[in-house]
């Protein structure tokens, strides 16, 4: 039975109840009109009338009870019908949603299969790219060991792109392996060491470092080297630290590169870190070379103050007594350069001076070198071996 049928029954019962009530009321009124008090006493109908009133009252109560009870049952049944209809609607919705969910699960399964296939392809391509990069990088590194070959490479218009590739590779590599560098035997390590080693060898020649400090991509690469140096971990990153320090040393030989490296806010901390670290003598030696190069010409009072507040002057003084002749000579020259800079500060000179006639002072407190080769008394460094 549906809701409309129960509604019709309820309406009918209400009408019956109303009609019966109306009839009972009319019967009471008729009895009052026909059988007044005097008439009842004359005909002695009193007992019968009283009994009739009682019966009418009982009839009203029974009819009322019947109607109310049935009305309550009808309402209860109507509520059940409504709930049943609602349940049927919900069941239909559930079936629809279940069907949609099954379709989505099937679609997700297909996507996961595709994702798995794509991951395998990416892994394969990544491995292939790393192997290819390591192979070509090592070939390029071997070519750049020869100064004549470097001069030939510099005649090409792809050098800026090489700087750009090295910049992106170096930043991604250090960001990915900032806590622990991969083994030297991996293709990733071979690639990054060979590509940065090639850059170091390009910067080892006068024309190469001049292109590097004037080309926008080359400048970006230099800034990237300076930025990642403090984040390269010790021990596992020793090889990368060495080749980066060699690159910066070669760059510092150039006048513009000298200013660019000296102005970096972290370079003095980086140099100090490697000088105080006795774990890698080779890295310590290159750090001393870079410090010597940078102290040849201190470009401003601010740079001097930053340097003096950071570098381990006491430890450098002690190196003057070391048994290693090369380190001993570098320590002596570094101390001389620092003393010269100190004298310039005491004399409150606006610009630090140099005895080299090839340098002239500029209005921006920097030095201009007419010959880029003359900013350091030591030769540039060639990255000869990709080794740990």
pLDDT tens-place string over residues 342-356: 887 777 654 444 444
3-state secondary structure of 228: helix
Side-chain-facing half-sphere of 236: CA atoms under 13 Å: 14
Whole-number pLDDT of residue 357: 40
Distance CA 335, CA 128 (A): 50
Cα distance between residue 211 and residue 202, in whole Å? 9
Give the model's pLDDT for residue 387.
44
Answer whether 334's CB lies under 8 Å from 288's CB.
yes
pLDDT block averages, 10 residues each, the chain of length 388: 56 66 66 58 56 68 63 70 83 90 92 92 87 90 90 90 95 91 89 94 93 95 95 90 95 93 93 89 92 90 90 92 90 93 73 43 30 42 56
pLDDT tens-place string over residues 122-159? 888 888 888 898 899 999 999 999 889 998 999 888 89
The answer to whether 369 touches 297, Cβ cutoff 8 Å, is: no
User: What is the structure's pLDDT at 224?
Assistant: 96
Residue 255 near residue 368 (C-beta atoms within 8 A): yes
pLDDT for the residue 217: 95
Q: How many residues does the chain have?
A: 388
pLDDT for 72: 66
pLDDT at 336: 93
pTM over 0.75: no
Integer distance in angstroms from the first to the last C-alpha of the chain?
Answer: 89
């Amino acid at each position: 039975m549906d809701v409309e049928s129960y509604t019709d029954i309820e309406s009918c019962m209400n009408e019956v109840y109303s009609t019966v009530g109306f009839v009972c009321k009319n019967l009471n009124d008729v009895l009052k009109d026909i059988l007044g008090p005097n008439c009842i006493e004359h005909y002695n109908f009193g007992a019968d009338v009283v009994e009739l009133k009682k019966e009418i009252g009982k009839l009203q109560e029974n009819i009322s009870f019947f109607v109310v009870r049935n009305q309550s049952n009808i309402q209860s049944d109507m509520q059940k019908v409504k709930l049943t209809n609602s349940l049927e609607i919900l069941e239909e919705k559930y079936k629809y949603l279940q069907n949609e969910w099954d379709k989505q699960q099937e679609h997700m399964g297909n996507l996961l299969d595709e994702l798995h296939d794509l991951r395998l392809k990416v892994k394969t391509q990544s491995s292939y790219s790393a192997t290819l990069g390591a192979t070509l990088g090592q070939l390029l590194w071997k070519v750049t060991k020869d100064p004549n070959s470097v001069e030939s490479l510099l005649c090409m218009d792809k050098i800026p792109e090489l700087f750009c590739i090295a910049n992106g590779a170096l930043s991604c590599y250090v960001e990915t392996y900032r806590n622990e560098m991969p083994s030297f035997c991996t293709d990733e390590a071979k690639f990054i060491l060979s590509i940065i080693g090639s850059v170091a060898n390009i910067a080892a020649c006068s024309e190469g470092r001049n292109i590097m400090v004037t080309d926008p991509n080359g400048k970006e690469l230099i800034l990237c080297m300076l930025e990642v140096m403090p984040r390269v971990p010790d021990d596992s990153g020793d090889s990368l630290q060495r080749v980066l320090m060699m690159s910066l040393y070669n760059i510092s030989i150039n006048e513009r590169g000298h200013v660019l490296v000296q102005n970096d806010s972290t370079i003095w901390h980086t140099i100090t870190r490697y000088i105080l670290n006795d774990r890698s003598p080779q890295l310590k030696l290159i750090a001393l070379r870079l410090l010597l190069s940078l102290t040849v010409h201190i470009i401003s009072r601010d740079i001097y103050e930053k340097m003096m507040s950071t570098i381990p002057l006491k430890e450098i003084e002690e190196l003057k007594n070391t048994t290693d002749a090369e380190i001993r000579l570098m320590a002596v020259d570094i101390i001389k350069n620092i003393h010269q800079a100190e004298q310039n500060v005491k004399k409150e000179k606006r610009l630090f001076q140099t005895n080299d006639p090839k340098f002239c002072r500029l209005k921006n407190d920097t030095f201009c070198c007419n010959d880029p080769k003359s900013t350091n008394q030591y030769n540039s460094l060639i990255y000869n071996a990709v080794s740990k």
